[in-house]
């Protein structure tokens, strides 16, 4: 019998249950949140919900153990990315087990971590805890870590907040001490439309937008060749990327409006406001004078879509040392993707990213997590249990 076939995770049924709830970011997550709240209540654990402004989404926060101590927070997001246009070989919202792998949307990113944490509730309750365990399960992480901000606003005002946080994003159970920050921006270019035969009398919003995109591409090339660099990241430098562009109505009309979305995924040492400031200066000194010479009503406007701070922990931090011991790892890592960890750290809570699964499987069709990774996640939780018991 293969080794994978002998692995019987205690969290397997919980993983199946959570994957079966299609909590795509554009939809509500209340079915999953209600399930978790009822599950915890069945063990006598009360939880607090923090809803969004529509009431259709919610964060969940719960504490196991003493309420007068900081404790360790296990944080994860409940939302998943869409499956639209992806070539899935199985039902993405039903776990399929094959050859030691669990297929399904969210298996890797990151419902398996949440499922493992929940599956261990009975064990956390079996004996008194000297150090409390907190659960922080959020909404809309995939669209800018939106939900957790509301939860952190409340936690920041509490007399006792978590002393440390472990974010269970997929890192193959390797402790991640740093990740890049992300600043996403939408640029609106407003021009002056006219008949294309009289193009010089108009202000072509698409063409001026293209000049800004070209400038951004130049910034990307400069970062790639000049740095700054941190070899712990892959890629080892700040990246600049334009991902979406819309403008114009017809070929024979000089377009009046155009917008495009771009992002900086920056090293912790790079200031995203300075990066955006450089783009603004280019627009103000090079483009606006030319646009205003034709029509002063034209212009360029920048709108923030989202911003996620980077994470920057030290290898000798007590939390880093704890998570290395819990995971059995002998080294730490850095990643290019963003998480809510930077927001926890910004709130004054030391935070590490460490969870089962491989980020290479995230957001792809036929997403999966290896049963061996689930087993490592459960081993991590058992070691944590030993640390927090009285």
Q: Which residues are catalytic?
A: 79, 141
Longest dimension (CA), the chain: 81
Which residues share a beta bridge with 189?
258, 300
DSSP secondary structure of 211-278: HHHHHHHHHHHHHHHH----TTSSSSS-EEEEEEEEE-S-TTB--SEEEEEEEEEE-TTS-HHHHHHH
The answer to whether 62 and 50 are in contact (CB under 8 A) is: no
- Which residues, at least 6 apart from 263, have a Cβ–Cβ distance to it below 8 Å? 182, 183, 184, 185, 240, 241, 243
Instruction: Identify the sign of the CA torsion 285, 286, 288, 291.
Output: positive
The answer to whether 47 and 62 are in contact (CB under 8 A) is: yes
What separation in angstroms does the CA of 138 have from each of 52, 57, 292, 304?
11, 9, 45, 22
Q: Within 10 A of 264 (CB to CB), how many other CB atoms are there? A: 28
């Amino acid at each position: 019998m293969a080794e994978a076939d002998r692995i019987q995770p205690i969290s397997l049924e919980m993983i199946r249950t959570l994957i079966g709830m299609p909590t795509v970011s554009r939809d509500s997550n209340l079915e999953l949140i209600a399930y978790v709240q009822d599950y915890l209540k069945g063990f006598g654990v009360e939880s607090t919900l923090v809803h969004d402004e529509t009431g259709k989404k919610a964060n969940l926060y719960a504490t196991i153990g003493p309420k007068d101590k900081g404790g360790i927070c296990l944080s994860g997001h409940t939302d998943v990315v869409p499956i639209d246009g992806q070539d899935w070989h199985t039902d993405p919202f039903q776990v399929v087990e094959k050859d030691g792998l669990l297929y399904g949307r969210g298996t890797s990113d990151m419902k398996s971590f949440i499922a493992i944490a929940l599956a261990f509730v009975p064990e956390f309750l079996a004996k008194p805890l000297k150090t409390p365990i907190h659960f922080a399960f959020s909404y809309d992480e995939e669209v800018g870590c939106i939900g957790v901000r509301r939860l952190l606003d409340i936690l920041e005002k509490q007399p006792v907040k978590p002393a440390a946080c472990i974010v269970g994003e997929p890192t193959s159970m390797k402790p991640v001490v740093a990740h890049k920050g992300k600043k996403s921006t939408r640029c609106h270019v407003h021009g002056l439309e006219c008949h294309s035969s009289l193009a010089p009398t108009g202000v072509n919003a698409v063409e001026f937008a293209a000049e800004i995109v070209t400038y951004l591409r130049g910034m990307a090339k400069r970062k790639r060749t000049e740095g700054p660099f941190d070899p712990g990241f892959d890629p080892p430098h700040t990246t600049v990327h334009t991902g979406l562009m819309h403008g114009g109505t017809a070929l024979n009309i000089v377009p009046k409006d155009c917008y495009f979305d771009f992002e900086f995924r920056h090293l912790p040492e790079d200031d995203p406001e300075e990066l955006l400031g450089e783009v603004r200066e280019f627009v103000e000194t090079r483009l606006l004078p030319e646009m205003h010479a034709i029509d002063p009503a034209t212009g360029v406007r920048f709108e923030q879509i989202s911003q996620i701070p980077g994470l920057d922990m030290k290898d000798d931090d007590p939390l880093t040392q704890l998570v290395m011991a819990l995971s059995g790892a002998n080294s730490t890592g850095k990643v290019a993707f963003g998480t809510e960890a930077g927001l926890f750290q910004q709130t004054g809570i030391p935070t590490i990213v460490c969870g089962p699964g491989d980020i290479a499987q995230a957001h792809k069709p036929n997403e999966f997590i290896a049963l061996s990774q689930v087993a490592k996640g459960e081993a991590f939780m058992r070691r944590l249990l030993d640390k927090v018991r009285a």
